[in-house]
């Protein structure tokens, strides 16, 4: 198992999750803006937040990473990565409390994780995916220098409705050419 690490950016600290972090995801999930595109139960109960936090704390860092994103000590987001070492590729995901949307924190934090995946772990490709209607999320991907690679029509079911999904990707050689909008 790879040891968890801490990443820092100009404004944020990305650290491993702790069980004491339960209150933050519980609070975020009470806001329908946060859950709109996520397959979270409604109502979202404290037990759901405990399960989520336990899964983040228990991440096997040899095949994944789970970062609690903090701003001045307060937990404001989550960035995670699923790592496929054999193929040298990874998938990143992120979620931030709605009160900080539009601040650039998602791009800053996800950019730090993408950089770590390429630079420290030697990944050759990083992807991210989101509901096709989630423009805020795909704008983050574009700011990271990712390109839209696919539109998967009617790809998943969310609360009984068929939803399209977009997939964005970034390859190592493009990352090395200085992806726009990423502070490194």
Domain coverage including residue 101: 7-175
pLDDT of residue 150: 97
* Average pLDDT of the residues in 58-66: 95
* % of the chain beyond a pLDDT of 70: 96
> At 103, which CATH number?
3.40.630.30
* Average pLDDT of the residues in 148-172: 96
In this prediction, residue 176 has a pLDDT band, given cuts at 50, 70 and 90, of: confident
* Average pLDDT of the residues in 33-51: 94
Task: Say if residue 43 is preceded by a cis peptide, omega within 30 of 0.
Answer: yes
pLDDT of residue 179: 55
Count the domains in the chain: 1
Q: Which two tokens stand for residue 157?
A: 């079911």
- Is 155 part of any domain? yes
* Average pLDDT of the residues in 38-67: 95
Spatial CB neighbours of 11, under 8 Å, sequence gap ≥ 6:
71, 105, 108
For residues 81 and 90, is the Cβ–Cβ distance under 8 A? yes
For residues 128 and 95, give the distance between their C-alpha atoms in angstroms, rounded to a whole number: 12
DSSP string, 50-91: HHHHHHHHT--TTTEEEEEEEETTEEEEEEEEEEETTTTEEE
- Is 51 part of any domain? yes
- Is 2 part of any domain? no
For residues 36 and 68, is the Cβ–Cβ distance under 8 A? no
43 three-state secondary structure: coil
- Is 14 part of any domain? yes
Strand 89-96, strand 147-158: pairing: unpaired
pLDDT in tens, 110-120: 999 999 999 99
Distances (CA, A) of 21 to 16, 75, 110, 168: 10, 8, 19, 30
- Is 184 part of any domain? no
For residues 88 and 83, give the distance between their C-alpha atoms in angstroms, rounded to a whole number: 8
- Is 181 part of any domain? no
Strands lying side by side in the sheet with 147-158: 7-8, 13-16, 64-71, 74-84, 89-96, 125-131, 161-171, 147-158
- Is 32 part of any domain? yes
pLDDT of residue 183: 47
């Amino acid at each position: 198992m790879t040891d968890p690490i801490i990443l820092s950016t100009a404004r944020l600290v990305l650290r491993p999750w702790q069980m004491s972090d339960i209150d933050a995801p519980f609070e975020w999930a009470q806001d329908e803006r946060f859950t709109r595109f996520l397959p979270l139960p409604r109502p979202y109960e404290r037990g759901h937040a405990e399960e989520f936090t336990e899964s983040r704390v228990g991440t096997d860092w040899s095949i994944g990473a789970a970062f609690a994103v903090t701003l001045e000590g307060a937990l404001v987001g989550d960035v995670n990565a699923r790592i496929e070492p054999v193929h040298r590729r990874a998938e990143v995901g992120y979620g931030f409390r709605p009160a900080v949307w539009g601040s650039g924190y998602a791009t800053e934090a996800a950019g730090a994780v993408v950089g770590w995946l390429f630079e420290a772990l030697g990944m050759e490709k990083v992807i991210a995916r989101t509901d096709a209607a989630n423009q805020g999320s795909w704008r983050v991907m574009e700011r990271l220098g990712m390109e839209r690679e696919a539109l998967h029509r009617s790809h998943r079911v969310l609360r009984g409705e068929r939803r399209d999904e977009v997939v964005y990707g970034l390859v190592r050689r493009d990352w090395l050419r200085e992806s726009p909008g990423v502070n490194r």
